[in-house]
Amino acid sequence: MRIVVANVNTTGSVTEAIRQQAVKAAAPGTEIVAVTPEFGPESVECNFESYLSAVAVMDRLQAVGEPFDAVVLAGFGEHGKEGVAELLGKPVVDITEAAAHTACLLGRRFSVVTSLRRTRGQIHDRLQLIGLASRCASVRATEMTVLDLEDDLERTGERVVEEVTWAVEADGADVICLGCAGMAGVAERVQAEVGVPVVDGVTAGVALAESLVRLGLSTSKVGSWAPPPPKRITGWPIPRR
């Protein structure tokens, strides 16, 4: 089985951190192929960057030459999942929905701990779209940028533990979702220090993608996520360099 894990930003070190987390989660025999968009922002932290990233990710996935069985989109609260699901005849798992659905199996209510406050609206919107907003106790922010989270894992762990503690004690969360792929690698520490289940979206995404492939299930093509109608699109796909 081959699973493509797509970073939503253009920072190679973030792609590598995501790849390592995905490899740890993958079952024996599953190959992880991590890809980086060829254009777009170095980190995704607002709606403008998210929409731009969605186009870049779709472009990059169109260019994956080797056969693959599923895609994991490694951007929390980002746009583009529906477009990718239309384009591909494979299971497509977004880490936001993977983390939230997994959390709902582990407790009554979950909280998300993410990067910046300004991204909380995007996450709320995504949870509303997938029908899980009512199960979300809160979305808390570390006020660390995506690149800071990835560069300083010690500080990231400290800030995430602080916000998780508040989410559990003040907001009534039973489970925590890590709301940024840049937090890859801190779930174990947080779970040990706070004592609640902590769901990493990349880990959950890979496990769910594997399950869909093994079950022989993929995106429905008879309704909203049917393939795009054939028509001329100027300048698409973008010529490969």
| pLDDT number for residue 138 | 98
**According to DSSP H, which parts of the chain are helical?**
12-25, 47-62, 81-87, 95-104, 120-129, 146-151, 153-169, 187-194, 201-214
| pLDDT number for residue 185 | 79
Give me 20's structure tokens.
């390592």
Q: Which CATH architecture has domain 2-95+203-214?
A: 3-Layer(aba) Sandwich (3.40)
| pLDDT number for residue 241 | 63
Quickly name the fold that domain 96-200 has. Answer: Rossmann fold (3.40.50)
pTM summary value: 0.94
- Sign of the CA dihedral running 4, 5, 10, 11: negative
> Taking the C-alpha atoms of 107, 216, 27 and 108 in order, what is their torsion angle to the nearest 10 degrees?
0
Residue 120 CB-half CA count within 13 A: 14
Alpha carbons 175 and 178: distance in angstroms, whole number: 10
Common-topology check for domains 2-95+203-214 and 96-200 = yes
> Taking the C-alpha atoms of 63, 68, 72 and 75 in order, what is their torsion angle to the nearest 10 degrees?
-10
| pLDDT number for residue 237 | 80
* pLDDT, one tens digit for every residue, the chain (241 residues): 999 999 999 999 999 999 999 999 999 999 999 999 999 999 999 999 999 999 999 999 999 988 999 999 999 999 999 999 999 999 999 999 999 999 999 999 999 999 999 999 999 999 999 999 999 999 999 999 988 887 877 888 899 999 999 999 999 999 999 999 878 778 888 999 999 999 999 999 999 999 999 999 999 999 999 999 999 989 888 877 6
Whether residue 198 contacts residue 176, with contact meaning beta carbons closer than 8 Å, is answered with yes
> In 3D, which of 199, 142, 149, 150 has the Cα closest to residue 20?
150
Alpha carbons 225 and 91: distance in angstroms, whole number: 11
Q: Where are the domains of the chain?
A: 2-95+203-214, 96-200
